[in-house]
């Protein structure tokens, strides 16, 4: 057992004019994660604390929050990695709905804009599946692993400055479909991905990839889209005869 | 009260709800679809399913074999007409997902790969590494975004169905963000609300799996079927209950007791198979009920390994090698290291049985229809029933696709035949009144956390892998008491915005109703079948219990338990043989 002190940002729009911190002292098991400590607070100390969580295995993406200033999944932020007071805040760059609960409407709308679904290159086979070799699968697999946890948006300085920026996860998810051997929708997605507020807003800080709990490497996706759209531009303007 | 008018309202936006929504949108683009969920779709618990989805695809397999494995695996409590429909539709649905871009793992020739799974005599489990449910959910969610007619209501908690003139015609829901009640008028409703594993303290289930969908239908008068059949998955991490997929064993992992013996051979699942060469439908590829029960016996014999989180066995995957583990079981490796500090590449991982899945649920027929006109259900919250007394791993992901679509088509047909009828305004007002009463109640002696803990204790103690008459009687008593005390609950948080104290109180109400149906049905079933094992009635009793239990809600007391015969078409009840000696 270990005594842990949590400093949690509280904000309730009905009663608070400003957010404030509240301290909780919790008896914790050594192997606990920050989420376990919050659950303990909720159950035994303060039922009014609000936050999202569900799977406790880093796959549902609900419990993203700032832990000591870094975007983390609370279910994968181990207490053993922290000393002293642990400060827990809602994910940066998002409006706070209440306490640790943020408003993620912006991302949800942006995700729809990148057309994150198969735009078939060829109609599906009459019987059975499209053929896709393991090598073809590997070309996009990594970008399918995004759990929409929003840590990359909280880490991205550009998103903080320019809220219109499409952002790392939405770009990676659009790019995922572009790289799928079954897909023919790259041009349709280009309107969003290769737009000014798409990849060109990114200044390649790379923070998104550093904080990604699933190793999706959205920064890599963004650079790939930049290269591809540059090639497209040159082909279109300098070698128009190549265009189909 | 703000009213949303729609044609079909779907409660729950996991695999079944999304599949239903897409089927509706494709069938009739003019249809208005309201997808109402207490969480964003991608948070739904479908995302946590790991191993894969079963469907016959390879030339050495057949629909009959999938049927036989499923019916035998379910200890003959499955309705065989439903299983027939299920195995026939299964490959179509999995191919449909492929055509929508699901990143299924592939064989070298580019066809989809399949892997062995427990209780299946052929390799027929499609998979996407060990994140199959995650990829199914995200493929469905992202695909759904192209249909403008699917209107989502994310983070809306449905408090009750609105029923008028014997027909389900809408629902009342709280918009979490504002705390305001909304009324949905719908010409048909589909419930796809998931399971209820959170009734138990040790479960693979996420926090959201609180039986809300089941409770909605139950309170509206639809029976809950076969609720006593609760699946324990044999391999959860003892520290957190995190699931390590059955695919660990499908790929060749083995289970050891404290002495290092592959003990399943001592429980009718031998003889021992060669290490690293798993044989289908025997030893570690036995069904979940049998494997979990074998552990219970080992524990009684003192052969379990003791850990600081209680008794465990060892899941040994070392012989698979780092490359296979990384390719096929990356999540398993990550979870084992993160939550247990054990790397399966170098050490066996301690595991123990953990509550995983509800075979029982809302009583539906083969068309996913309930006894309440206008109300349909699909996915884990429903009991159709294909899973009988024990579900085979990888049938449930397929089930939510097959019956999610089926529910949509049935609802569509109903909408086509039945004109909308206006709902009396008083129904939704009454629903709001009930929430208001709970919010404003003062002087209550009970707390959400307190009652929840007592419920979990009773379930763990009396409704586990093995059950006894006395324990079940005590659990029935306890659940009745908890349901009465629930009316004395007082919330600490009486505000509107994202009030999780309120949300948890409502979820507890759902769980208590479901839990009572579990223990009452279990007490009444005086036999042992599949996942329901009675120490005082150790034999299967086909004469008296080849029947589905039906628990009917009673607001003031315990549910009435009735029965309905199982549909047997071509497989008479037989012996479940996992001894490895079967054909070929």
Between B500-524 and B469-486, two packed helices, what is the crossing angle to 10 degrees? 150
Q: Which of B351, B291, B283, B288 is nearest to B316 (CA)?
A: B351
A76 with B499: Cβ contact below 8 A: no
Which residue in B242, B447, B498 is closest to A57 by CB distance? B242
Q: For residue B164, which of B181, B180, B183 has the smallest C-alpha distance?
A: B183
Among chain B residues, CA nearest to A184: B101
The DSSP secondary structure of A2-49, one letter per residue, reads: EEEEEEEEE--TTT-SS-EEEEEEEEE-TT-BHHHHHHHIIIII-TT-
Are A172 and A107 a contacting pair, CB within 8 Å? Answer: no
Give the pair of three-digit tokens for residue B555. Answer: 């607001």
Tell me: do B325 and B372 sit in the same domain: no
Please answer whether residues B166 and B421 qualify as being in contact, where contact means their C-beta atoms are separated by less than 8 angstroms. no
Range A105-242 classified under CATH 3.60.15.10: no
Q: How many CB atoms lie within 10 A of CB A173?
A: 23
Q: Can you tell me the distance from the alpha carbon of B403 to that of B380, in angstroms, rounded to the nearest whole number?
A: 10
From the list B47, B239, B495, the residue facing A15 with the nearest CB is: B495
From the list B110, B142, B154, which residue is nearest A131 (CB)?
A: B110
8 Å CB contact of A12 and B135: no
Closest B-chain CA to A78? B338
Q: Along chain B (584 residues), what's the average pLDDT of each consecutive run of 10 residues?
A: 97 98 98 98 97 97 98 98 98 98 98 96 97 98 98 98 97 98 98 98 98 98 98 96 95 97 97 94 97 98 96 98 95 94 97 98 98 98 98 98 98 96 94 97 94 98 98 98 97 97 98 98 98 98 98 96 98 95 50
**Which residues fall within 8 angstroms of residue A235, CB to CB, at 6 or more apart?**
A242, A243
What is the pTM (predicted TM-score) of this model? Answer: 0.97
Cβ atoms < 10 Å from Cβ of B584: 4
Joined tokens for residue B154: 């994310």
Q: Which domain holds residue B250?
A: 235-354
Q: Mark which of B354, B383, B404 sits at the end of a domain.
A: B354
For A59, which of B47, B104, B208 is closest by C-beta distance?
Answer: B47
How long, in residues, is chain B? Answer: 584
B512-545: b or e for each residue (b if 16 or more CB lie within 10 Å)? bbbbbbbbbbbbbbebbbbbbbbeebeebeeeeb
Question: What is the chain A residue with the closest CA to B139?
Answer: A117
Which residues 9-28 of A have a C-beta within 8 angstroms of B?
A: 12-15
Q: Is B449 inside any structural domain?
A: yes
A122 close to B (CB below 8 A): no
Distances (CA, A) of B75 to A72, B36, B300, B350, B388: 45, 35, 25, 29, 7
SS3 B156: strand
**Any catalytic annotation for residue B233?**
yes
Q: Answer yes or no: is B470 within a domain.
A: yes
CA separation for the pair B359, B229 (Å, rounded): 5
Q: How far apart are CA B244 and CA B336, in angstroms?
A: 8
Give A 44-63 residues with CB within 8 A of chain B: 44, 46-62
Question: With bands split at pLDDT 50, 70 and 90, how would you rate the model's confidence at A243?
Answer: low
Contacting residues of B for A97, CB less than 8 Å apart:
177, 497-498
B254 to each of B73, B251, B275, B303, B531, how far by Cα in Å? 20, 9, 8, 16, 22
- Selecting from A76, A124, A182 the residue whose C-beta is nearest the C-beta of B338 gives A76
Cβ-Cβ contacts under 8 Å, B138 against chain A: 144
**E strand or H helix at B456:** helix B448-462
Given CB atoms, is B492 within the 8 Å cutoff of chain A?
yes
* Residues of chain A neighbouring B110 (CB-CB closer than 8 A): 131-133, 136
Point out the residue among B39, B109, B110 whose CB comes nearest to the CB of A54. B39
From B423, B438, B454, give the residue that closes a domain.
B423
CB of B105 within 8 Å of any CB in chain A? yes
Asked if A124 has any chain B CB less than 8 Å from its own CB, the reply is: yes
Structure tokens that stand for B133 in this block: 């449910």
Angle, CA B122 vertex, CA B117 and CA B123 arms, to 5°:
55
Q: What is the pLDDT of residues A93-116, one digit of tens each?
A: 999 999 999 999 999 999 999 999
- By the CB < 8 Å criterion, does B95 face chain A? yes
Confidence of residue A234 (pLDDT cuts 50, 70, 90): confident
Same domain, B241 and B312: yes
Å from A19 to nearest chain B CA?
Answer: 15
Give domain status of residue B418, yes or no.
yes
Whether A140 has its CB under 8 Å from any CB of chain B: the answer is: yes
Task: Give the separation between CA A52 and CA B207, rounded to whole angstroms.
Answer: 10
Count CB pairs under 8 A between chains A and B: 149
Do A128 and B43 lie within an 8 Å CB cutoff?
Answer: no
The answer to whether the CB atoms of A129 and B104 lie below 8 A apart is yes
Cβ-defined contact of B112 to A112 (cutoff 8 Å): no
Handedness of CA B321, B327, B331, B334 (dihedral sign): positive
Residue closest to A197 by CA, chosen among A171, A216, A235 = A171
Q: Taking a contact as any Cβ pair under 8 Å apart, which residues of chain A between 145 and 184 contact chain B?
A: 145, 147-148, 173, 177, 180, 182-183
Q: What pLDDT shows up at residue B584?
A: 41
Q: At a CB cut-off of 8 Å and minimum separation 6, what does B572 contact?
A: none
* Count of other CB atoms within 10 angstroms of residue B308: 10
* Predicted confidence (pLDDT) per residue in A107-144, tens digit: 999 999 999 999 999 999 999 999 999 999 999 999 99
And the tokens for B57? 């695809």
What is the mean predicted confidence (pLDDT) over A172-198? Answer: 96
% of chain A at pLDDT higher than 70? 99
Whether residues B243 and B326 share a domain: the answer is yes
Tally DSSP H helices, then E strands, for chain B: 15, 24
Query: Which of A150, A23, A157, A154 has the alpha carbon at shortest distance from A87?
Result: A23
Q: Is B249 a catalytic residue?
A: yes
Chain B interface test: which of A41, A105, A109, A117 (most B C-beta within 10 Å): A117
Whether residues B43 and A43 touch (CB distance < 8 A) is answered with no
- Quick check: is B155 in a domain? yes
Do residues B144 and B240 both lie within one domain?
A: no
The reply to whether B42 and B161 lie within a common domain is yes
B289/B376 Cα distance (integer angstroms): 29
Number of H helices, E strands in chain A: 9, 7
- Residue in A closest to B104 by C-alpha: A137
Higher pLDDT among residues A204 and B393, named by residue = B393
pLDDT digits (tens, 9 = 90+) for A26-67: 999 999 999 999 999 999 999 999 999 999 999 999 999 999
Question: Domain ranges in chain A?
Answer: 2-102, 105-242
Tell me which of B249, B262, B318, B483 is the catalytic residue.
B249
- Residue A186 at interface with chain B, using a CB cutoff of 8 Å: no
CATH of domain A2-102: 3.10.20.30
Domain count, chain B: 3
Say yes or no: B329 and B478 in one domain: no
pLDDT number for residue B576: 96
Cα separation, B157 vs B155, whole angstroms: 6
Q: How far is CA B269 from CA B115, B124, B293, in A?
A: 20, 21, 12
Cβ–Cβ below 8 Å for A48 and B146: no
DSSP single-letter state for residue B467: E
Question: Do residues B279 and B255 share a domain?
Answer: yes
Dihedral sign computed on CA atoms, order B326, B330, B334, B339: negative
Residues B70 and B173 placed together within one structural domain of the fold: yes
From A241's Cα to the closest Cα of chain B, the distance in A is: 32
Task: Name the domain boundary from B298, B332, B354.
Answer: B354
Q: Do A148 and B42 touch (CB under 8 A)?
A: yes
CB distance A54–B208 less than 8 Å? yes
Between CA A10 and CA B41 the distance in angstroms is 26
Residues B185 and B144 in one domain: yes
Any idea what the CATH number is for the domain that residue B328 is in? 3.90.700.10
Task: Check A52 against B43: CB less than 8 A apart.
Answer: yes
Rounded Cα gap, residues B394 and B396, in angstroms:
6
Question: How far does the CA of residue B439 sit from the closest CA of chain A (Å)?
Answer: 13
3-class state of residue B562 by DSSP: strand
Query: B43: which chain A residues are within 8 Å (Cβ-Cβ)?
Result: 52, 54, 60-62
Residues B197 and B154 in one domain: yes
CB contact under 8 A, A55 and B448: no
B468, B149, B131, B563: which is closest to A61 by C-alpha? B131
Q: Please indicate, yes or no, whether residues B542 and B450 belong to a single structural domain of this protein.
A: yes
Phi, psi of A67 (to 5 degrees): -115, 115
Q: Does residue B317 share a domain with residue B304? A: yes
Q: From CA B245, how far away is CA B332, in angstroms rounded?
A: 7
The confidence score (pLDDT) of residue A237 equals 85
Helix, strand, or coil (residue A224): helix
Q: Could you tell me if residue B579 is inside a domain? A: no
- A183–B101 CB contact, under 8 Å: yes
User: Over B221-256, what HEC string results?
Assistant: CCCEECCCCEEEEEEECCCCCCECCCHHHHCCCEEE
Please give the Cα distance from B206 to B44 (Å, whole number).
9
Report the residue of A12, A36, A60, A78 to disrupt the B interface, i.e. the one with the largest count of B CBs within 10 Å: A60
Q: Does B8 touch chain A (CB under 8 A)?
A: no
């Amino acid at each position: 057992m270990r005594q842990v002190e949590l400093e949690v940002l509280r904000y309730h729009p009905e009663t608070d004019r400003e957010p404030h911190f509240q301290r909780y002292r919790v008896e914790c098991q050594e192997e606990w994660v920050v989420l376990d400590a919050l659950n303990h607070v909720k159950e035994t100390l303060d039922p009014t604390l609000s936050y999202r969580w569900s799977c406790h295995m880093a796959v549902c993406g609900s419990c993203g929050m700032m832990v000591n200033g870094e975007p983390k999944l609370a279910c994968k932020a181990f207490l053993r990695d922290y000393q002293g007071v642990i400060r827990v805040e809602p994910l940066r760059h998002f409006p706070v709905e209440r306490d640790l609960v943020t408003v993620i409407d912006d991302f949800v709308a942006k995700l729809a804009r990148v057309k994150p679904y198969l735009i078939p290159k060829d109609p599906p086979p009459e019987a059975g599946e499209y053929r896709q070799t393991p090598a073809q699968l590997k070309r996009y697999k990594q970008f399918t692993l995004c759990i929409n946890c929003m840590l990359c948006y909280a880490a991205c300085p550009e998103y903080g400055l320019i809220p219109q920026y499409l952002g790392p996860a939405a770009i990676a998810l659009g790019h995922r479909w572009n790289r799928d051997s079954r897909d023919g929708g790259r041009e349709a997605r280009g309107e969003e991905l290769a737009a000014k507020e798409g990849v060109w807003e990114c200044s390649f800080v790379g923070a998104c990839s550093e904080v990604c709990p699933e190793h999706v490497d959205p920064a890599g996706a963004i650079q790939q889209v930049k290269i591809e759209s540059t090639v497209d531009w040159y082909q279109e303007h300098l070698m128009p005869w190549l265009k189909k | 009260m703000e009213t949303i008018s729609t044609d079909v309202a779907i409660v729950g936006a996991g695999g079944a709800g999304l599949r239903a929504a897409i089927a509706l949108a494709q069938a009739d683009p003019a249809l208005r679809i309201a997808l109402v969920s207490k969480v964003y779709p991608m948070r739904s618990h479908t995302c946590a399913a790991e191993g894969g989805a079963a469907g016959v695809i390879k030339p050495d397999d057949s629909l009959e074999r999938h049927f036989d494995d499923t019916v035998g695996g379910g200890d003959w409590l499955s309705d065989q007409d439903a299983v027939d429909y299920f195995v026939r539709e299964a490959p179509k649905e999995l191919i449909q997902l492929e055509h929508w871009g699901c990143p299924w793992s592939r064989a070298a020739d580019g066809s989809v790969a399949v892997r062995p799974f427990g209780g299946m005599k052929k390799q027929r489990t499609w998979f996407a590494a060990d994140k199959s449910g995650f990829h199914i959910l995200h493929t469905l969610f992202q695909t759904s975004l192209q249909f403008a007619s699917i209107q989502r209501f994310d983070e809306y908690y449905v408090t009750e169905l609105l029923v008028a003139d014997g027909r389900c015609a809408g629902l009342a829901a709280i918009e979490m963000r504002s705390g305001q009640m909304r009324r949905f008028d719908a010409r048909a409703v589909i419930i796809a609300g998931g399971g209820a594993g959170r009734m138990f303290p040790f479960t693979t289930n996420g926090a959201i799996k609180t039986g809300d969908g089941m409770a909605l239908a139950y309170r509206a008068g639809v029976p809950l079927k076969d609720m006593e059949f609760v699946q324990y998955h044999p391999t959860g991490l003892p520290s957190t209950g995190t699931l390590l997929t059955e695919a660990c064993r499908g790929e060749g992992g083995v289970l050891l007791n404290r002495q290092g013996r592959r003990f399943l051979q001592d429980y009718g699942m031998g003889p021992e198979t060669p290490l690293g060469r798993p044989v289908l439908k025997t030893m570690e590829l036995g069904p979940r009920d049998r494997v979990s029960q074998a552990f219970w016996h080992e524990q009684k014999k003192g052969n379990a390994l003791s850990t600081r989180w209680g008794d465990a066995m060892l899941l040994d995957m070392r012989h698979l090698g780092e490359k296979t583990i990384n390719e096929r079981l990356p999540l398993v490796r990550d979870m084992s290291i993160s939550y247990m500090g054990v790397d399966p590449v170098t050490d066996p991982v301690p595991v123990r049985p953990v509550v995983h899945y509800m075979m029982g649920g809302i009583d539906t027929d083969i068309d996913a229809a309930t006894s309440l006109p206008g109300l349909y259900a699909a996915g884990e919250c429903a009991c159709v029933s294909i899973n009988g007394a024990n579900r085979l791993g990888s049938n449930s992901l397929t089930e939510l696709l097959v019956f999610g679509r089926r529910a949509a088509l049935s609802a569509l047909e109903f909408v086509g035949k039945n004109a909308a009828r206006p709902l009396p305004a008083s129904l939704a007002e009454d629903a709001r009144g009930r929430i208001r009463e709970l919010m404003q109640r003062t002087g209550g002696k009970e707390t959400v956390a307190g009652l929840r803990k007592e419920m979990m204790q009773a379930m763990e103690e009396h409704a586990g892998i093995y059950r006894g008459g006395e324990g079940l009687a005590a659990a029935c008593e306890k659940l009745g008491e908890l349901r009465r005390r629930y009316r004395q609950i007082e919330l600490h948080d009486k505000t509107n915005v994202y009030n999780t104290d309120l949300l948890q109180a409502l979820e507890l109400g759902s769980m208590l109703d479901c839990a009572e149906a579990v223990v009452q049905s279990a007490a009444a079933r005086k036999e042992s079948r599949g996942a329901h094992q009675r120490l005082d009635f150790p034999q299967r009793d086909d004469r008296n219990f080849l029947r589905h239990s039906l628990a009917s809600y009673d607001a003031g007391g315990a549910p009435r338990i009735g029965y309905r015969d199982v549909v047997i078409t071509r497989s008479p009840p037989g012996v479940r043989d996992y001894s490895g000696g079967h054909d070929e």
